[in-house]
Amino acid sequence: MERIGAVLIDIDGVLTVSWRPLPGAVEAMEQLRAAETPLALVTNNTSRTRAAIAAQLAGSGFPVGADDILTAPVVTAAYLREHHPGACCLLINTGDVRDDLSGVTIVEEEDGEGAVPDVVVLGGAGPAFTYAALNRAFRHVQQGARLVAMHRNLYWRTADGLALDTGAFLDGLERAARTEAEITGKPAEAFFASALAHLGADPHGALMVGDDIESDVLAAQRSGITGVLVRTGKYLPETHAAADGTPDHVLDSFADVPALVERLGRHQGVM
């Protein structure tokens, strides 16, 4: 296999569903590792830290470590430090990812006076997205707090089927508060730029493999990265047909990625 510049890989729906490896995914990852293909796992998952994700994947046989993983919370922390330095942030998220939010001041409603947030940060949907929590976010944004969302995915694939995600709630919150959220995870261009910088790669010769045609694939293509859509996870034929663009490549699953990498490497002469 010829070496290609970089392969960016979504996790949920591409490598796993409800953290169970999809058929052929572990073996495909091993093939990429054996070929010394630079790769990074890029995910909008907001329920676990990088360390926890790496431990889960490694326990399932994937040859990855925490340094191979870039999550929306990690990118969000960098964004907040740069664009809202010193801000007090109210975090609404299902799952504890505070270890990946280094340098960010998280305030609690229980803190009382002096804890009014400058920024409301939405992570992943789930039990934390109660009416009370979302209404609290709405009121703070009305009063001038900025709204930052780690992503705006509408749903993701679980073992029980598709489940609502942040975007389903964020759209309503934006309309009600008459504002537009600052998005930090995919499909933000800065997210892909961070992943490429992590690998020391440029868009030319890089691939993005995902199951979300809009946030993963077409967003990557707008950043100059070759987009690869897999027909697993949240993939739906009707979503594919109605998309705003056409993926560069469509594969049945991640198991087919090593063969594509080899073919593209030979064709393009990427070293």
Per-residue pLDDT tens for 77-132? 999 999 999 999 999 999 999 999 999 999 976 544 557 899 999 999 999 999 99
What is the maximum alpha-carbon separation in the chain?
63
- Four-CA torsion 214, 92, 196, 10, nearest 10 degrees: -50
Q: Which range (135-139, 232-236, 265-269) has the least confidence?
A: 265-269
Which DSSP letter does residue 12 get? B
The yes-or-no verdict on residue 235 having pLDDT over 60 is: yes
Confidence of residue 44 (pLDDT cuts 50, 70, 90): very high
Structure confidence by residue, pLDDT tens digits, 187-207: 999 999 999 999 999 999 999
pTM of the model: 0.86
> Taking a C-beta distance cutoff of 8 angstroms, is the pair 259, 4 a contact?
no
Give the H/E segment covering residue 25.
helix 25-34
